[in-house]
Amino acid sequence: MNPETEKTLAFFGRMTANLTHEFKNILAIIQESAGLMEDIMAISPLAKDKYQERFNNSMNTIKNQLQRGMELATRFNRFAHTPDHSRAELELAETMVHFCTLTERFARLKHISLQAGNQQGQEIKITTNPLLLYMVLFYSLDACLSVLPAQCEIRLIPVQKDENVAVEIACSGKQAPSAEDFFTSLRQSSIWADLENAAEQLNAELKCNTDDLRFYLILK
């Protein structure tokens, strides 16, 4: 297997493991809520009134978790289809929301907030390789998570930069390192090398703003 295929499979593996773990959490909540309802039903009819509110709460929890599961399954399915076409038209703001929903758990495990921003509030469309774009975004996120401490925030913002379309990766937080330390650590991490390679394959350019904790993925 060539190294590029290995990297792609590793990326898919991490995304799949992450999302199936989230599905198991959802199923665990549904299982306990349904179990609690079953427990209440098994109590004598006289005690049921006492638990009516809890019974209704469990019903609502199940509905909410089903909604959460459906949303995740839909997005996961869409992600699974990213290799279908080597080029496709994507709307960047929507793509950032999609990517952040799929990867939010990686950030959550480090107590870091991940947000999709849409500063300019406009539709920005690009024709690109969807799978490679997701890989580049993933490496960008992974690199930031490897150097940022807890309670920081990462925002992915689509921007029109000069003639080009770009994604701004903006990090912030009270405990965040200085821009110099941030970029030194980023560039020393092995993930950064993966990011540079994947960006090159995508024909995208990485541009660091060394005044603060921001870098750009310029899509061509």
Q: Cα separations (Å) of 35 from 4, 10, 16, 42, 54?
A: 46, 37, 28, 10, 12
Beta bridge partners of residue 207, listed in sequence order = 216
Backbone angles phi, psi at 123, to 5 degrees: -75, 125
Q: Tell me the per-residue interface mask from 66 to 85 with another protein, x by CB under 8 A, - otherwise.
A: --------------------
Beta bridge partners of residue 128, listed in sequence order = 88
What does the block give as tokens for 209?
Answer: 């703003």
Q: Is the Cβ of residue 31 or residue 160 nearer to another protein in the bound state?
A: 31
List, as own/partner pairs, every contact residues 38-43 make where C-beta atoms lie below 8 angstroms and the sequence separation is at least 24, other chains included.
Answer: none
Q: Is the Cβ of residue 30 or residue 199 nearer to another protein in the bound state?
A: 30
Our finding on whether 189 is near another protein (CB under 8 A) is no
For residue 155, the tally of other CB atoms under 10 A from its CB is 18
CB neighbour list of residue 130: distance below 8 Å, 6 or more residues apart = 82, 83, 85, 88, 90
Q: Is the Cβ of residue 65 or residue 103 nearer to another protein in the bound state?
A: 65
Applying CB under 8 A, which part among 89-97, 103-111, 136-144, 193-201 lies near another protein? 103-111
Site for another protein (CB under 8 A): which residue of 63, 109, 181, 187? 109
Site for another protein (CB under 8 A): which residue of 6, 13, 21, 41? 21
Least spacing, CB of residue 32 vs another protein, in Å: 4
Site for another protein (CB under 8 A): which residue of 84, 150, 174, 211? 150
In the complex, which residues of this chain contact another protein (CB under 8 A)? Answer: 17, 20-21, 24-25, 27-33, 35-36, 39, 54, 58, 61, 65, 108-111, 150
